[in-house]
Structure 1
């Protein structure tokens, strides 16, 4: 091979390397622009949890007192631990909340009036750990009303929380409150 052909081949190889570098720089930066941004964690919600008062004529009953005294300090929701939270004053009686300080809290209220949706012919009761609940869905949460115990309890669980807290509270209720006919 003669010298001019070698120089041309070397020059073309050099141009090819430079071209690859330029393409990597141009398209590499566009790839970064197309990547989805990382979602920052929700800000912490500090301070006591504020609960709206609701009628709870039996909140002072022995059953509610016993139940509230025995609720666990934590509930497990998947890999998230929810901790029993302080309630803002004036705190509704016989009420408890658990939170991870990022999501809406899980709220238990005891001694409520019988929910209007709970009738003798109610078909959508769910048994969890031997405890009958009536689920009422909203856009942001499901409120589970206790149906087969001497007091009415509501457990409000935000969407996406999972079933762990409902199972834990059902187990506690099964051990704490006497079952009654529906």
Structure 2
């Protein structure tokens, strides 16, 4: 007797339905596993520093144009209360974050003759961390507001290059104005 001529659906339809159901279950399990491995970013605590222009129009323009990713770092929320003019990105492994502060005061060490590094038409002044020699904060010093970018060790050049591009597009260049020596 031929089973394809019975009262139920043809065998090929039953096999296809079973394969489709098993495939759907496998897909749901894979998606669930991937979603579990991608935790929500942990809020980053950003300490307050003197930032007299953090609530300026220039900082609002810059903050609204910042990207969601800087190389291997993804945008992270800030712990409340977050200082005005601040943004953070965190690596996927939960390591040390990158911190941007807009509208900060001129760095004390930024005096006439201080060495500058130009990245994509933006002049940066580097301040070495006094505790951790591998950490530095870079200050964009040729825009209407000072912008500080603190980079953790091993973060690479992507962050400063991307921020330089955003700065060059969103804030006009201004003459560099270091403090007088002495």
Q: Note whether the superposition's TM-score is higher than 0.5.
A: yes
Give per-residue Cα distances to partners, 1:123-146, cap 9 Å, x unaligned: x10000010000112214110011
Name the counterpart of 1:105.
Answer: 97
Deviation at 1:46, TM superposition (A): 5.7
Q: What is aligned with 1:149?
A: 143
Superposed, 1:43-58 pairs within 5 Å as 47-58=42-53
Residue of 70, 73, 98 corresponding to 1:75? 70
Shift of 1:47: 2.7
SS in 2 for 1:119: coil
Matched, 1:118 2:110: yes
Contact 2:139/2:147 (8 A) holds in 1? yes
> Which structure 1 segments of 5+ residues have no match?
1-43
Deviations 1:137-156 (A, max 9, x none): 22141100111111011000
Are 2:168 and 1:174 equivalent residues in the alignment? yes
The aligned residue for residue 61 of structure 2 is 66
CA contact (8 A) 1:45 1:102 kept: no
Q: Do residues 136 (structure 1) and 127 (structure 2) align? A: yes
Find the structure with the greater CA-based Rg.
1
> Following the alignment from structure 1 to structure 2, what is the Cα–Cα distance between the partners of residues 121 and 136?
14
- Give the superposed CA RMSD: 1.5
- Segments of 4+ moved more than 4 angstroms: none
Q: Contact 2:98/2:149 (CA < 8 Å) preserved in 1?
A: yes
Matched, 1:95 2:86: yes
Question: What is the aligned residue count?
Answer: 134
**3-state SS of the aligned residue for 2:111?**
coil
TM superposition shift of 1:103: 1.4
Long gaps (5+) in structure 2: 1-38, 177-182
The 8 Å contact of residues 56 and 103 in structure 2, kept in 1 or not, is answered as yes
